[in-house]
Amino acid sequence: MGICRRFFALTLVMLLMLLSGCGKGAEADENAKKPQTLDDQVDAIVAGMSLPEKVGQMVMIGVHGTEINDDSRFMLNQYHIGGVIFFDRNLQSAEQTKKLTADLQAQAAKVPLFIAIDEEGGPVARGKGFIEPPPSAQSIGQSGDNTQAEAWAQKTGNRLKELGINVNFAPVADVGNNPREYSADGQTAAKFVAAAAQGYESAHVIYALKHFPGIGRGQVDSHIDRSEIPATKDELMAQDLLPFKEIIANHSPENFMVMVSHLVYPALDKEHTASLSAAVQTKLLRQELGFNGVIITDSLEMGAVSKYGDFRELGVQAIQAGADIALVCHEYPRQTAVYLGILEAAEKGVISEERINQSVKRIVKMKLLHRQ
């Protein structure tokens, strides 16, 4: 009788274990069937990247020529570059541009490239032979009809998308009297920038607010040299920052970038340009205004910064300040120096991999949301 009891007990234990195992297996199968969230996908992609691949996502370059060549192919593959900006030197016709964007995207390994352009309209317009340039922002602003800003942004966005271009470095959110600016009044400028933002979102094209925290008061061209904006923080908040604040407060950060300027704002940071300033990017833009999207520098080849620093250091300083992407528009040796500088800083722990991951996750998430 004792043997029977022991046999029965052992059989019962084995049955319970089997049932328990089956339950777990069924639960695991059920969990496996659950679709990954977007954040899960982003985390998995970033976890599968090497450090050199991550750093490549944080650099956007300009390439030369109207077709992919050995130089551009080398840059994209050797340094895992995550984005390309087009200029007229790259744009010959609609068909040629479509082929170029497709060929460039074919080099992308784990996520698509950002392919960007400055199609503001007015004095800053690329590919005029086959991309209809919008009127200047100033003329649209002077019309008093902000629906024009939305209509032109949507039209431009749709055309860029047809060509394989997924980022437009527009609208200009600066407050001033320049043809590139909607208005010298902050509230009016904010209204027109918001309308343009809506237009780009309707076209499902990434846009960029520039040039944070506003260069409308500037007197010196940043391409040539740096200058200061002698405004108090209260003055900046009350006027210059209104268009940025409007979009940040009311639009998803996955839909737009913020491009930071190369001007110095002594009321915020007496020493550094905005593009190299933690006070501007991390404290003001991230913490005070609550922006958690992609921050990109203006081109680091511009005289306002390149005259005062080495390219291997400029990219590092920009990332340490809070930028996610260092933009280097023209020369391959300078682009290489920026990439290698950031990579070396990351390898040595000067920039932590956690900090690198923060930027790359923002970039990858934006790319996944805007895949064509």
* CATH for 148: 3.20.20.300
pLDDT of residue 309: 83
Residue 15 lies in a domain: no
Residue 7 lies in a domain: no
pLDDT of residue 99: 98
Residue 16 lies in a domain: no
- pLDDT one-digit tens code per residue, 177-229: 999 999 999 999 999 999 999 999 999 999 999 999 999 888 766 775 668 89
Residue 6 lies in a domain: no
Residue 19 lies in a domain: no
Higher pLDDT, 296 or 305: 296
Tell me the mean pLDDT in the region 287-304. Answer: 94
Residue 136 lies in a domain: yes
pLDDT of residue 20: 47
Domain range enclosing 259:
38-370
Residue 83 lies in a domain: yes
> How far are the Cα atoms of 19, 23, 186, 332 from residue 14, in angstroms, in the given order?
9, 14, 75, 67
**Can you give the pTM of this predicted structure?**
0.89
Residue 207 lies in a domain: yes
Average pLDDT, the chain: 90
Number of domains in the chain: 1
- Comparing CA positions, the residue from 90, 260, 47 lying closest to residue 174 is 260
- pLDDT one-digit tens code per residue, 324-369: 999 999 999 999 999 999 999 999 999 999 999 999 999 999 999 9
Which amino acids are annotated catalytic? 298
- pLDDT one-digit tens code per residue, 253-265: 999 999 999 999 9
